[in-house]
Chains A and B, each alone.
Chain A
């Protein structure tokens, strides 16, 4: 359980997908104009990351790696299979959102299916492979990474709502300001970088 929390905290706050790795910027910049839609998209990303990560772990471990059921090293196929899993999950999310929240569906527009190519999601799966996570760690990493992404997008959406009526110099309005905001937010998030939650696991001994 302690390990689960460690990976979650690390993925959500210390190595935030957006503010530390700058992954998943496209939808982050495009859909962060209002908190409400950002909230919806953030939830969708948490869901997709949280589901695809363990599925991809299972596929990688039992199908692609040479200790799997096929007995061959098929890891070069991981990009294809990961993307396929992600795409099908996004389809699922799309159907759910369309059924239960048509207004959010309309607000998100093209960006909902585009979660498929959200770099944070494929990036998360590849991080998981590169870091040799176990199954429970991959679940924690998926949920934590998604939560960090969610937090970052609603925070920037709130700031962008707040500065909507500010006298920002004309060339910076819109995306220019969003880039500056992201950079400064990244600087603020550097505050937590360097903490290693694993150190505190052994505090009881």
Chain B
């Protein structure tokens, strides 16, 4: 069976000279599906079945639970905002269909644009495709708001892949995390689409009732109509036409924006702790559900793909900074206490469970290309991300969340950390040999 399959693939392999692009394309998909057994002719090399593509697939696998839950949560938040189907399993088919309608275009555009650029460059350079975009392409949809316009997504990916990766020489050479570069590009270039309270719940638009601004669900498009046709066929409830006003008291505020204005009290007045833990809160598509992210992180550590040192030290860094902030915060609030001090007073263990801390820890900070590569360096690197990230989240009123920028900030210094770790190591060994010679 396998042999017949291989024979078939060998027969359809395009000629390298005649059509270089097709050959590169073929080679990319072929080595993705089958681990190649080609070896170098000269020199001594270690060969491992766990090659680059297999490593990346592990990371993508670890994110699948986040995808599943993210798809559901897009729909759940939409209906929660409208005050319909508020139970977790009520209207499940509608929520999943709505989630799919939102996430599939993002996913497809991300991969078509990102892989397209990668294939193009691989052909131009005459290299095999490295598919470094697989992980970035799986990460990018998870860190975007569900309503992100596709052209903005395209522009940001073009920026991240060309400036952030291809300029540096392709996969494995980049200094900054590609997925985060794409997000930070949207963040600075089109801030209204990725920050604030309005973007995290999908398919809502502004309206006004008696002059009071509020939201209603947007008119559903043909995709919803298609699902309606199926659902009405099997006798389930349907989407309808949209234009439903949101439930009373809906603001769309995320826990972090509530925390920044009123501290832990105003967070718990809207969301319960278990909601924040299980992830049925508005946010980027993949970041909300903590247990699923932790499962992914455990999977990554168990397979040895991600560094546990970075994860542990990042938790320590954030905890230390959280305790420092708790220490600075005044013991009692008055009427005039600015929100920033209430934010500081939030106990550090709650800080770790809010926002995208765990997602950044499991999937972003551990990126082996952009992190420090020495073991000591990893401790320092992770610790500093935790430390700086909490500073940005709490102390910087300009940004709602800190981990994206903190990781980019420490990516800048990861090479420097490695340099000094290596230098210290060389010094220590030189000293040791000197002592040995002297004695």
Contact = CB atoms under 8 A, between A and B. Distances in A.
A194 B398 contact: yes
A199 B395 CA distance: 9
7 contacts: A161-B415, A163-B168, A163-B173, A191-B409, A193-B398, A199-B338, A204-B330
A80 interface: no
B322 interface: no
A155 B415 contact: yes
Given A155-B413, A189-B412, A195-B395, 16 more contacts: A154-B416, A155-B412, A158-B415, A158-B418, A162-B175, A168-B168, A177-B168, A184-B163, A184-B175, A188-B176, A191-B396, A192-B391, A192-B396, A195-B391, A203-B341, A203-B344
Interface stretch (B13-21, B108-116, B224-232, B400-408): B400-408
B419 A35 contact: yes
Given A180-B163, A184-B175, A205-B330, A162 B415 contact: yes
Q: Which 6 A-B pairs have the closest CB atoms?
A: A194-B398, A191-B405, A167-B169, A166-B169, A158-B416, A158-B415
A185 B163 contact: no
A194 B397 CA distance: 7
B167 A172 contact: yes
Contacts of A51: none
B388 A191 contact: yes
Contact of B416 (A155, A189, A194): A155
Interface in B62-83: none
Contact of A188 (B168, B405, B418): B405
A35 B169 CA distance: 22
A181 B164 CA distance: 9
Majority secondary structure, B binding face: helix
Contacts of A192: 391-392, 396, 409
Contacts of A190: 188, 405
Given A190-B188, A191-B406, A159 B415 contact: yes
Interface string A167-191: 1110010000100110011011111
A100 interface: no
B409 A189 contact: yes
Contacts of A189: 409, 412
B169 to A, nearest CB: 4
Nearest to B330: A203
Nearest to A19: B412
Nearest to B173: A166
B127 to A, nearest CB: 9
A76 interface: no
Nearest to B411: A188
Contacts of A162: 175, 415, 418
Given A166-B169, A204-B330, A161 B408 contact: no
A161 B163 CA distance: 19
Contact of B167 (A35, A169, A194, A199): A169
A100 B280 CA distance: 64
A187 B167 contact: no
Nearest to A180: B167
B340 interface: yes
A180 B293 CA distance: 34
A152 to B, nearest CB: 9
B60 interface: no
A191 B413 CA distance: 14
B329 interface: yes
Nearest to A187: B184
A161 B416 CA distance: 9
Nearest to B329: A203
Contacts of A205: 330
A104 to B, nearest CB: 16
Nearest to B410: A188
Interface in B145-165: 163-164
Contacts of A191: 388, 392, 396, 399, 402, 405-406, 408-409
A163 B166 CA distance: 13
A63 B170 CA distance: 58
